[in-house]
């Protein structure tokens, strides 16, 4: 245990937080999509709560 309140932090919230931090640090939307296992980029955008145009612009600037 890492001394977090179990009722306040579930596996889903930790999953979402980790990917959100990766996106914030790298701006790599495609990597986030792969990590989450989403088929559609739009699902990842919605999941992260970011604007589609901003996400696509950032994604196009990074090569994988």
Residue 57's alpha-carbon distances to 2, 5, 10, in angstroms, are 37, 38, 32
Q: What pLDDT is recorded for position 15?
A: 79
pLDDT recorded at residue 37:
94
> Is 32 in contact with 23 (CB distance < 8 Å)?
yes
Task: Give the per-residue pLDDT at 40.
Answer: 92
**pLDDT classification of 2: cutoffs 50, 70, 90:** low
Q: How many Cβ atoms sit within 10 Å of the Cβ of residue 28?
A: 18
Structure tokens at 30: 């495609």
Q: What is the pLDDT of residues 7-62, one digit of tens each?
A: 766 676 777 888 888 988 888 888 999 999 999 988 998 888 887 777 677 667 76
Q: What is the predicted pLDDT for the residue at 36?
A: 93
């Amino acid at each position: 245990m890492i001394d977090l309140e179990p009722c306040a932090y579930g596996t889903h919230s930790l999953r979402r937080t980790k990917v959100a931090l990766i996106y914030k640090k790298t701006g790599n939307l495609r990597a986030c999509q792969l990590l989450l296992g989403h088929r559609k980029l739009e699902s990842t955008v919605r999941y992260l709560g970011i604007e589609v145009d901003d996400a696509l612009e950032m994604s196009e600037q990074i090569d994988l």
